[in-house]
Structure 1
């Protein structure tokens, strides 16, 4: 498809109204699908999620780096997921700009537009593949507890995931997307899109890419995640019911059951967070590529649908570090310990010192009393 010709489009004044050269009088002036309140409200929400997402994901990364006892193949996946969510949080400021101040005229270098789209789809694909691999490995761990999966294997899987996502996500989107003035009076999908988005001359190639890449990197992983999660829950329920009779059995059996419960809880929370973020994303992808009338209703609906699905992704990525700690008592303890050390909260050490000193004083006093009685 050829690029849009905008000779009669007033590109210098990206405000609330745009004028058309010698257009017929029945064409209504163009209005942005948002107002100043929308800019401010979306900015407050996105930048709040940006701060929370960076702080929580960076905290989890630092905790994993500091405490070697946390490191196992599942924690390496969590570490990589935090890196992905951290990148998403950082680039979310570009999303806010493209959906508000830069909606009609992208005034910063085009590089940032291409980088946003390329990095965004890379982290999207990466998240789906990470969680799918995490779920499958959890199933293997639950059903074959004696079978050891080497940490090296997990690192190879993670490296392969990032290689595929960069090759099949970052590179194509850097080609497909760009910033330009959009023809707000046209009848194409391009009319309701922000200035920084998919370039219309690549629409056919993008649709082919979507039919091939989205099932591989999103829909199949989503299906596997749901199926494996259901199987794990069913197996856990059957295991609990069969173990009611030996509830007073060996300590090792009870510890194993507790480990399984924590593992399943962690997986379920991660899956819930994934669904919160990426089901709306998938729905919007289908909507935005459909032909709809170029009316104000459809422009406003498209705008806020796109804004809402992105806020869902940001929300889910803020939940992830919280869920990692809820689902793992060891992770939770290390996180609390790390925060106390960094912020100078040494109460446990002070308390232990006081208790030790107090006990020693009591023992010394007891010896003095004993000696006095013997004397």
Structure 2
């Protein structure tokens, strides 16, 4: 029941945040918000397929995988694809924030169109480097000893899977995670120093901007570590120990699954906490939705801006 609630909340919260940013020009024209929109898409996809991931989980024990093979292929492919894409989105976000602090005048040339090209490159690049491998190598296979049918890499592709786990996973998962941690510390230190300089000059407006940036980076990285650090540790242990009895694969798999789902639920909340403009737009949209049951919502026409700017 708890997992089902998290899934429903995650889908609703990320979809709401995505709509909030997409419907306001003042929001979707900001490079950082373009990345946040793409992160919402990633969390949304992950939440939608999470029941299928749980169904395939070793927590279910020795039960047959009774779903069609294409469900096996698509669900695991999307899960792995969104994991790597999210990792690179967070890394890109931190690099953008670092560039905005270190080279603010140069970063002003980085527009929403550039950010859109960046996220498009992340999605296409991660699928080209990892997604197709998952889709190609997965299938339904019967265990010769237990007779249980499971969704797993097929025997004919084990060499490719081994090579990917040896070279691809460290490059696409471990390295970006390490960079996120290191660069987030550097970015936070620079933000704090810049805040102190602005504070000494009594520039209150700039101090508030630095405070919001510090909160935003801290919350996004904290949610990232909560969701993906257990995932990385699990993958590393599974690669080295497999189903060895020296560790409890079932308990760890459950823990990392729940941590990832909690992280996906927290992300849209943190986006609203860290951004007053997103928070205000969310409150406005929720108020409009809640009032749509009244006659006023049905009869009052929505004002249309004639100059293309938010009314």
Same fold (TM over 0.5): yes
Alignment match of 1:70 (pick from 9, 12, 27): 27
Aligned counterpart, 2:301: none
| CA displacement at 1:110 relative to structure 2 | 0.7
- State the match for 2:164 in structure 1: 209
Per the alignment, residue 291 of structure 2 pairs with 344
Does structure 2 conserve the Cα–Cα contact (< 8 Å) formed by 1:46 and 1:96?
A: no
Structure 2 counterpart of 1:267, from 217, 237, 245: 217
What residue number does 1:304 align with?
251
Alpha-carbon shift at residue 104 of structure 1 (Å): 2.4
- Contact kept, 8 Å, 1:142 with 1:260, in 2: the verdict is no
- Alignment partners' CA distance in 2, 1:276 and 1:143: 27
Once the two structures are superposed, the pairs formed by residues 4-83 of structure 1 within 5 Å of their partners are 44-71=1-28, 72-83=30-41
Alignment-derived partner of residue 31 in structure 1: none
Contact 1:128 1:222 in 2 (8 A): yes
5+ residue gaps, structure 1, are 1-43, 186-190, 248-252, 350-375
- Partners of 1:177 and 1:198 within 8 A in 2: yes
Query: Does structure 1 conserve the Cα–Cα contact (< 8 Å) formed by 2:226 and 2:263?
Result: yes
Please identify, of 160-169 and 315-324, the stretch whose mean Cα deviation from structure 2 is larger. Answer: 160-169
TM-score for the superposition, normalised by structure 1:
0.72
Alpha-carbon distance change, 114 to 103 in structure 1, aligned in 2, over 3 angstroms: farther
Aligned equivalents of 2:63 and 2:143: distance in 1? Answer: 7
1:152 corresponds to which residue?
Answer: 113
- Alignment of 1:278 with 2:207, yes or no, is no
Hey, what does 1:32 align to over in structure 2? none
8 Å contact kept, 2:94–2:187 = no
Higher helix share: 2
Q: State the match for 2:276 in structure 1.
A: 329
Please tell me whether Structure 1 or Structure 2 has the larger radius of gyration of its CA atoms: 1
Task: Provide the aligned length of Structure 1 versus Structure 2.
Answer: 291
**Counterparts in 2 of 1:101 and 1:279: CA distance versus 1, 3 Å:** closer
The yes-or-no answer on 1:258 pairing with 2:205 is no
Tell me if the contact between 2:227 and 2:259 (Cα under 8 Å) persists in the aligned partners: yes
Q: Would the alpha carbon gap of residues 245 and 77 (structure 1) be closer, same or farther in structure 2, given more than 3 Å must change?
A: closer
Q: C-alpha offsets along residues 92-148 of structure 1, whole Å, 9 cap, x if unaligned?
A: 110222236695211121110111111011100100111111111111112222221
Unaligned runs of 5+ in 2: 297-311
RMSD: 2.5
1:225 partnered with 2:180: yes
Q: Does 1:179 align with 2:140?
A: yes
